[in-house]
Amino acid sequence: MKSAVIVFPASNCDRDAATALKDITGKTPAMVWHQDSELPEVDLVVLPGGFAYGDYLRCGAMAAQSQVMKAIKAHAEKGGAVLGICNGFQVLTEAGLLPGALMRNAGLKFVCKPVTLSVEETQSAFTRKYEKGQSVSFPVAHGEGNYYADGDTLDRLEGEGRVMFRYQDNPNGSARDIAGILNPKRNVLGLMPHPERVVDPTTGGTDGRALFQSLIEALS
């Protein structure tokens, strides 16, 4: 599986994503600068966590208008896999690749801690190596991770099996405890928790590895 990590000026989980990809896939991902208009030939594009252009506006709002997003949209339309983590999820909703929005945490504070998630669906390139209903621990680290969408959209997400991860103890007020969702074509995943921070037993656990292993199996 070949992958690319998008680098906005204030991305700050780009190295973490690249380290995890290199470790698990054995291949160094391409690092793609936000002003690039083309992507290299890859199976997976990762939009990493961070603050894109500072996010003094709505998180991800400016990144959604960036040069590289056009190429990412084209990649997604062709069926290529896109994984947006944390700020990457915010960018994907702002860019219209995923429905809904991520609002300020209900507690109004930034929150960084491990959270227990249940894997809701395993019918996807991102979760096939997990078991349905499995509990996994990923850390969250965000100030704006409160997922919102209107009732119809939420019903549709649930009805179509597109809610991939749910919080067991909701840290941010997200609607229906939603932590991660898929697009209708099931090739774009956005989630607030950080799977790339749980790939090493020395630094907090290995529950995130199966997500990347799922992608290898699905995309190689």
Partner 1 sequence: MTITPELIREHGLSDEEYARIKALLGRDANLVELGVFSVMWSEHCSYKSTRTHLKTLPTKGPHVIQGPGENAGVIDIGDGDACIFKMESHNHPSFIEPYQGAATGVGGIMRDVFTMGARPIAMMNALRFGEPDHPKTRHLVSGVISGIGGYGNCMGVPTVGGEVNFHRSYNGNILVNAMCVGLAKKDRIFLSAAKGAGNPVVYVGSKTGRDGIHGATMASAEFNEDSEEKRPTVQVGDPFTEKLLLEACLELMATDAIIAIQDMGAAGLTSSSAEMADKGGSGIELDLDKVPQREENMTAYEMLLSESQERMLAVLKPGREAEAEKIFRKWELDFAVIGKTTDTHRFIARHKGQVVADIPVTALSNEAPVYERPFVRRAPAQGEPAYDKKRPVTQSLVQLLATPDMASRRWVWEQYDHSVMNDTVEPPGSDAAVVRVHGTKKALAMTTDVTPRYCRADPFEGGKQAVAEAWRNLTASGATPLAVTDNLNYGNPQKPEIMWQIVAGIEGIGEACRALDFPVIGGNCSLYNETNGEGILPTPAIGGVGLIKDVSRRATMGFKREGDVIILIGETKGHLGQSIYLREIEGKEDGAAPPVDLAAERRHGDFVRGLIEKGRVDTAHDLSDGGLLVAIAEMAMKDGIGASIGQASLADAIAFFFGEDQARYLIAAPFAEAEKIVAEARAATIPVAELGKTGGDVLVIDDKERVSLKQLRDGYEGWFPRFMAQEEIPLSN
Residue numbers at the binding site for partner 1 (CB under 8 A): 9-13, 15-16, 19-20, 49-51, 53-56, 109-113, 139, 141, 143, 194, 196-197, 199-200, 202-204
Cβ at position 156, least distance to partner 1 in Å: 33
- Specify the residue for token string 């939603």: 178
Tell me whether residue 48 or residue 190 sits nearer to partner 1 (CB atom): 48
Three-class SS state of 40: coil
Cβ at position 77, least distance to partner 1 in Å: 30
Element (H, E) at 91: helix 87-94
- Specify the residue for token string 């000026």: 9
Tell me whether residue 83 or residue 199 sits nearer to partner 1 (CB atom): 199
Sort strands 81-85 and 188-191 into parallel, antiparallel or unpaired: parallel
Query: String of b and e for 6-27 (b: at least 16 CB within 10 Å)?
Result: bbbeebebbebbbbbbeebbee
Contact 47, 6 (CB under 8 A): yes
Whether 77 is a known active-site residue: answer: no
Give the C-alpha separation, 39 to 46, whole Å.
12
Tell me whether residue 16 or residue 207 sits nearer to partner 1 (CB atom): 16
Cβ at position 12, least distance to partner 1 in Å: 2
Tell me whether residue 12 or residue 153 sits nearer to partner 1 (CB atom): 12
Tell me whether residue 1 or residue 20 sits nearer to partner 1 (CB atom): 20
Determine the Cα angle at 4 with ends 148 and 137, to 5°. 50
Cβ at position 201, least distance to partner 1 in Å: 10
Residues 6+ apart with CB under 8 A from 200: 23, 206
Whether 196 is a known active-site residue: answer: yes
CA torsion through residues 170, 172, 173, 176, sign? negative
Task: Please pick, among 120, 121, 144, 196, the residue that the annotation labels catalytic.
Answer: 196
Cβ at position 182, least distance to partner 1 in Å: 25
Task: Please pick, among 13, 75, 86, 142, the residue that the annotation labels catalytic.
Answer: 86
- Specify the residue for token string 């590895």: 209
Whether 194 is a known active-site residue: answer: yes
For the annotated catalytic residues, the residue numbers are: 86, 194, 196
